[in-house]
């Protein structure tokens, strides 16, 4: 095998020095370098050695994968751990087959003979340009070894001068924030036991001012649903060609992961993505990789009605059957019964964990409602929260030892059931399996309404940190339930959007972006959620006229236009709707069915507008023959005329017809008349893609919280 390896795919290059005996080092991750011969690769290796400076190592250090202090790296170590305090600095050497080229990547085998550790590292560059690093660490010694961190990183060049990540809170998840990429460590750590509303889905570093459509960007994501850390780091002394690094891994608590002799720790996959075309380029690569999975959902996602904001805990067969009938009449395809159907659950203070249908509320069981829903031509879904319990529940009274940290602070009157307890795990699996089968359940809305604060798992009579075991347990529970019930779909909901990551999406079929159905807030929440997660995996619902969480009022047209760009649904008592409102909803569901193949398979595109009160986003087909866009006004325009807005993602060489889709009614506007191209009616305007993307079209002066829907098709 050559001592140098050049991986190329979809405009991305990854150049590795695999000459050993140390772990491979990355000489370049970024733009495609074209075909390089062996001589050119060897020259690149030699040219990557930096100068020897004063007050520094006699030999300039390299930066291998999983670099540590033995490599001369003074930053965050790739592997941290110890054997009863000994062997704190792993000294990796290739062993066995060493580095083996695989399809699109390499597998690396290494060990530290003195510390008695074995390492297996798989690095792949897939057909979409996404790099994934998977790491396994095995204890080959005769005594326990505590793992404290495994943090894969890749280098980024000096051009990456700016960092963008996301923060948030309940009902305001995924808010962007920017900072300079300076010396030191920009560390984002979640200690919530779940991803959290403030988790950064993507930690991106890029050229100054990079946006959705411009700039060179490098980004990373940790595919894990428990505690995690993501970092961007830059030291005053550079290591080789690296000006800085990006990476991350699981955040392990003290004593949480102790490998017995022969045991292996499989670290979460860490994703790395590069783009020369701004954040949209990052998004396209990730979405295409997820859509290439054999188990990815079909594009035609069924339109949902969830009952929570319609009835809350007030369950009644006649009322819910009437709601189902109205839902079916307007085009709903999946009806989901939310919280309140089981045990003594009449409010959120008791009954959680008692997964038996309430005889008091449902004397005939849930099957009559399920049968009614199926007879109306819809799927039947059900809300569950299996990982949590109320202290006031039959389950806790019978099995107090099943609770993870009984003395931990309550959160929404809840404690956590210990999934590392085999009896608790078996009970949950059997109960959930029975509920699904007995009630012909097609879909579970799986909630997770609290952080795992003070998560202690008893082992050997003593409390030990339990987040890792809990996360492994939830993955196993989801997989086991789906194995017993092929075709069952599961949504990851966690106080809304508090468990959104690529780890949970390997075991579920969509995420609930936020408990906030306020369309104004949802514009930003969905904009940044879909930076990582494809629209077909993001729940987007139409709420009532007055938002439950913010008390803001919005028009039905704006609420429908906002919910259209995802896995659409309704969260509203539509039995109270007027005939006019039902007519709008019926047209909206028809528009969703008409456009969903495009919305759920095309490339998400977002414009960088100078007006902070306006947004332009949409989806363009992979063939670039059609698109669907929304021009959204959130705040009043600073100018009298909003000006021209470019439609991104179109083929410059094609001619397109652009027309307004007024299925939801005319967009509210602050003007006497719209631009002529809109006033001309259904014909719209025909222009080359070069003009639409490069010059744009004049937009109307919309009122705040209004949206204009635009259909683009080849002319």
CA atoms within 13 A on the CB side of 509: 21
Using alpha carbons, select from 511, 477, 441 the residue that is nearest to residue 297. Answer: 511
Compute how many other C-beta atoms are within 10 angstroms of the C-beta atom of residue 591: 21
Taking the C-alpha atoms of residue 59 and residue 50, their distance in angstroms, rounded to an integer, is 9
Catalytic residue among 442, 447, 451, 501: 447
Q: CA-based angle 142:226:143, to the nearest 5?
A: 5
Are the C-beta atoms of 366 and 341 separated by less than 8 Å?
yes
Q: Which of 660, 622, 651 lies closest to 714 in space, CA to CA?
A: 651
- Token readout for 279 is 């954040």
* Catalytic residue (choose from 17, 126, 198, 515): 515
* Sequence-ordered list of residues with C-beta below 8 angstroms from that of 119, at least 6 positions apart, any chain: 23, 66, 79, 92, 108, 109, 110, 111, 112, 135, 136, 137, 138
3-class DSSP state of 93: strand
Known catalytic residue: 515? Answer: yes
Cβ pair 451, 193 in contact under 8 A: yes
How many whole angstroms separate alpha carbon 163 and alpha carbon 177? 8
Helix 579-599 vs helix 556-563: crossing angle, to nearest 10: 20
- The C-alpha angle with vertex 690 and arms to 688 and 693, in degrees rounded to 5, equals 110
What is the enclosing helix (H) or strand (E) of 472? helix 467-484
Show the 3-state SS of 602-652. CEEEECCCCCCCEEEEEEECCCCCEEEEEEEECCCCCCCCCCEECCCCCCC
Cis, bond preceding 21 (omega within 30 deg of 0) = yes
* Residue 537 to residue 600: CA distance in whole angstroms: 9
Given phi > 0 = left and psi -120 to 50 = alpha, else beta, which region is 150?
Answer: beta
Which residues have C-beta within 8 Å of that of residue 266, sequence separation ≥ 6?
Answer: 134, 135, 136
Element (H, E) at 560: helix 556-563
Q: Which residues are catalytic?
A: 447, 515
């Amino acid at each position: 095998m050559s001592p140098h390896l050049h991986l190329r795919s979809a405009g991305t290059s990854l150049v590795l020095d695999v000459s050993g005996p140390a772990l491979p080092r990355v000489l370049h991750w970024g733009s495609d370098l074209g075909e390089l011969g062996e001589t050119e690769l060897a020259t690149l290796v030699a040219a990557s050695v930096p100068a020897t400076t004063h007050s520094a190592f006699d030999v300039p250090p390299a930066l291998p994968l999983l670099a540590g202090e033995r490599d001369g790296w003074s930053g965050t170590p790739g592997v941290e751990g110890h054997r009863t305090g000994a062997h704190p600095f792993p000294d990796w050497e290739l062993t066995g087959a060493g580095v083996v080229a695989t399809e699109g990547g390499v597998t690396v085998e290494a060990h530290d003979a003195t510390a008695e550790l074995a390492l297996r590292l798989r690095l792949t560059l897939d057909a979409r340009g996404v790099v994934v690093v998977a790491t396994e660490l095995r204890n080959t010694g005769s005594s326990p070894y505590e793992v404290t961190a495994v943090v894969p990183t890749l280098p980024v060049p000096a051009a990456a001068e700016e960092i963008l990540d996301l923060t948030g809170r309940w009902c305001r998840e995924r808010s962007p924030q920017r900072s300079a990429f300076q010396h030191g460590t920009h560390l984002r750590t979640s200690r919530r036991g779940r991803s959290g509303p403030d988790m950064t889905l993507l930690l991106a570093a890029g050229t100054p001012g990079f946006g959705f459509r411009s700039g060179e960007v490098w980004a990373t994501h940790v595919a894990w649903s428990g505690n995690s850390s993501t970092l961007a780091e830059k030291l005053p002394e550079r290591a080789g060609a690296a000006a800085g690094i990006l990476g991350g891994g699981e955040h392990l608590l003290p004593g949480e992961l102790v490998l017995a002799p022969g045991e292996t720790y499989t670290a979460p996959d860490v994703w790395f993505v590069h783009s020369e075309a701004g954040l949209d380029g990052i998004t396209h690569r990730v979405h295409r990789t997820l859509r290439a999975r054999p188990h990815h959902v079909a594009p035609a996602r069924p339109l949902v009605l969830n009952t929570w904001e319609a009835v809350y805990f007030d369950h009644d067969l006649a009322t819910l059957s009437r709601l189902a009938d109205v839902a079916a009449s307007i085009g709903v395809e999946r009806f989901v019964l939310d919280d309140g159907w089981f045990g003594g659950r009449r409010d959120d203070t008791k009954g959680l964990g008692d997964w038996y249908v309430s005889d008091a509320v449902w004397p005939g069981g849930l099957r009559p409602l399920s049968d009614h829903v199926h007879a109306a031509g819809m799927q039947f879904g059900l809300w569950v929260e299996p990982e949590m319990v109320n202290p006031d529940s039959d389950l806790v009274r019978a099995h107090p030892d099943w609770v993870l940290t009984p003395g931990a602070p309550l959160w929404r009157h809840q404690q956590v059931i210990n999934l590392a307890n085999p009896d608790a795990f078996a009970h949950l699996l059997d109960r959930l399996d029975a509920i699904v089968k007995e009630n012909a359940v097609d879909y579970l809305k799986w909630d997770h309404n609290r952080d795992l604060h003070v998560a202690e798992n008893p082992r050997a009579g003593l409390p030990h940190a339990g987040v890792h075991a809990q996360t492994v347990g939830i993955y196993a529970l989801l997989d086991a339930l789906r194995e017993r019930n092929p075709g069952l779909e599961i949504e990851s909901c966690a106080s809304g959007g508090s468990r959104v990551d690529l780890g949970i999406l390997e075991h579920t079929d969509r995420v609930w972006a936020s408990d906030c159905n306020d369309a104004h807030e949802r514009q930003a929440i969905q904009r940044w959620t879909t930076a990582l997660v494809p629209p077909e995996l993001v729940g987007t619902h139409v709420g009532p006229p007055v938002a439950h969480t913010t008390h803001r009022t919005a028009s039905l047209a704006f609420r429908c236009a906002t919910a259209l760009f995802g896995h659409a649904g309704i969260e509203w008592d539509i039995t109270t709707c007027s005939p006019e409102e039902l007519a709008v909803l019926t047209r909206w569901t028809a528009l969703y069915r008409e456009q969903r193949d495009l919305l759920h398979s095309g490339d998400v595109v977002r414009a960088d507008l100078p007006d902070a009160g306006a947004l332009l986003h949409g989806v363009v087909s992979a063939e670039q023959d059609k698109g669907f866009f929304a021009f959204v006004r959130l705040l009043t325009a600073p100018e009298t005329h909003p000006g021209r807005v470019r439609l991104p993602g179109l083929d410059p060489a094609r001619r397109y017809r652009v027309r307004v889709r007024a299925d939801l009614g005319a967009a509210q506007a602050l003007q006497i008349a719209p631009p002529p191209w809109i006033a001309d009616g259904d014909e719209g305007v025909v222009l080359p893609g070069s003009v639409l993307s490069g010059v744009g079209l004049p937009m109307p002066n919309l009122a705040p919280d209004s949206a204009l829907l635009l259909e683009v098709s080849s002319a």
